[in-house]
């Protein structure tokens, strides 16, 4: 599912901006479909403009109410009545999403213990490490995420020590029951 809010706080209308000859949301939808990993791909939106853009190309849309705290809450609303096990949440501004990382994420769910998964990628550019618009993630030895921040984490106490930095990629996968439970938790 692709949550798609027109009135984004940092860049309203971003999903309807042209990227070449297609809108960002259209490119994201087409990229998710092109992976051939999903039984169904839906854009979940409260926007008439986004709905019209996706329907015009033969895509599938689920309308959601406007008052959601996050895209995950929007996806949870749409998934509530679906008969599915795992739901993948691809951000609406991910026009270059590729099959391989999504496939790796889905493979984690072959283990019935796994309830939630997300993606990360290594960061090496010092500007990205310092950039508050880049969400960093710290993981343990099993690659389980333990902390997310827009600040520099881990903090380089000793400048001589080589640290690994990772960017959190805004793709999430949930087992349905976990998604619904997570969406019901209070904000922290």
pLDDT 10s digits, 116-173: 999 999 999 999 999 999 999 999 999 899 999 999 999 888 888 889 999 999 899 9
Q: Where are the domains of the chain?
A: 2-184
- Residue-level pLDDT at 65: 80
Q: Contact, 11 vs 73, CB < 8 A?
A: no
Mean pLDDT of 15-34: 98
Average pLDDT, the chain: 94
- Residue-level pLDDT at 160: 85
Q: For residue 84, what are the β-bridge partners? A: none
Cα separation values, 139 from 62, 120, 167, Å:
34, 10, 11
Q: What is the CATH number of domain 2-184?
A: 3.90.550.10
Q: Contact, 86 vs 175, CB < 8 A?
A: yes
Q: For residue 118, what are the β-bridge partners? A: 172
- Residue-level pLDDT at 3: 96
Which structure tokens are listed for 17?
Answer: 């901006």
Q: Contact, 167 vs 121, CB < 8 A?
A: yes
Distance, in Å, from the CA atom of 37 to the CA atom of 53, rounded to the nearest integer, reads 23
> What are the pLDDT digits (tens) for 94-124?
999 999 999 999 999 999 999 999 999 999 9
The DSSP element (H or E) to which 29 belongs, if any, is: helix 24-34
- Residue-level pLDDT at 69: 81
- Residue-level pLDDT at 125: 95
- Kindly indicate the confidence band of residue 17, based on its pLDDT and cuts at 50, 70 and 90: very high
Largest separation between any pair of C-alpha atoms in the chain = 55
Mean pLDDT of 54-59: 98
- Residue-level pLDDT at 23: 98
Q: At what angle do helices 176-184 and 71-79 cross, to 10 degrees?
A: 130
Distance, in Å, from the CA atom of 97 to the CA atom of 58, rounded to the nearest integer, reads 20
- Residue-level pLDDT at 28: 98
């Amino acid at each position: 599912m692709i949550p798609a809010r027109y009135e984004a706080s940092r860049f309203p209308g971003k999903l309807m901006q042209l990227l070449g000859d297609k809108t960002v949301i259209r490119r994201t939808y087409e990229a998710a479909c092109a992976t051939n990993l999903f039984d169904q791909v839906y854009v979940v939106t409260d926007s008439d403009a986004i709905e019209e853009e996706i329907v015009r190309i033969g895509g599938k849309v689920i309308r959601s109410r406007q008052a959601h705290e996050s895209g995950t809450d929007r996806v949870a609303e749409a998934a509530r009545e679906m008969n599915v096990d795992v739901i993948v949440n691809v951000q609406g501004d991910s026009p270059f999403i590729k099959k391989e990382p999504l496939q790796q994420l889905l493979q984690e769910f072959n283990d019935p213990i796994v309830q939630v998964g997300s993606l990360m990628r290594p960061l090496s550019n010092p500007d990205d490490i310092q950039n508050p618009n880049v969400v960093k993630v710290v993981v343990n030895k099993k690659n389980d995420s333990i902390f997310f921040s827009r600040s520099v984490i881990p903090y380089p106490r000793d400048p001589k020590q080589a640290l690994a930095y990772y960017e959190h990629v805004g793709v999430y996968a949930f087992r349905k029951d976990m998604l619904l439970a997570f969406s019901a938790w209070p904000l922290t």
